[in-house]
Amino acid sequence: MRLVIGSDHGGLELKSAVSQSLGDRGLEVVDLGTDNGESVDYPDFAVKVAQEVARGEADCGVLVCGTGIGMSIVANKFPGVRAALATDEFMARMAREHNNANILVLGGRVLSADLACRMVEAWLDATYEGGRHQRRLDKIAAVEEDVRAGRI
């Protein structure tokens, strides 16, 4: 499984902790930056990760900025991307079970490294439940198509 990860300066430290913990798990983690503490713009890194997930070049992604808010706003512009901003393990697990989120978004100024690593594990270990949730995901896809076509 190919997992892509990205952050801005506000998420750099947490991203490093999460990357290391995922690497220890034997996952292929591809870090798309940023790679230093210099101030950068979160949309640039959200695009790198979301684009790979949207194109199917990566199975899933993790994005980290200060709060996670900016990264989620950008990532969810991509059709087919379901980026979930989570703040605890329950939300991370639900993001997979109910929303089949393909990107998990974290706040580097919100979460401890320990909690964030447990959240990513919970999300990766969880199984999408399908069923009634698939109907809802199909509606999201329909909304994307309607917006694209200018119908709504």
Among 27, 30, 47, 69, binds ligand RB5 (CB under 6 A): 69
Give dist(CA 101, CA 85) in Å, integer.
Answer: 10
Work out how close the CB of 74 gets to ligand RB5 at its nearest, in angstroms, rounded to a whole number.
9
Which entry of 9, 60, 65, 117 is annotated as an active-site residue? 65
Work out how close the CB of 107 gets to ligand RB5 at its nearest, in angstroms, rounded to a whole number.
7
Give dist(CA 78, CA 98) in Å, integer.
Answer: 19
Cα 51 to Cα 30, 54, 129, 132, 152, distances in angstroms: 14, 5, 25, 28, 24
6 near ligand RB5, judged by CB under 6 A: no
> What mask, x for binding ligand RB5 by CB under 6 A, covers residues 90 to 119?
------------------------------
Count of other CB atoms within 10 angstroms of residue 48:
18
Work out how close the CB of 2 gets to ligand RB5 at its nearest, in angstroms, rounded to a whole number.
25
70 near ligand RB5, judged by CB under 6 A: yes
Among 67, 76, 100, 102, binds ligand RB5 (CB under 6 A): 67
Quick one: residue 146, left, alpha or beta (phi over 0 = left, psi -120 to 50 = alpha)?
Answer: alpha
Residue 117 bears catalytic tag: no
Site residues (vs ligand RB5, CB under 6 A): 8, 10, 42, 65-67, 69-70
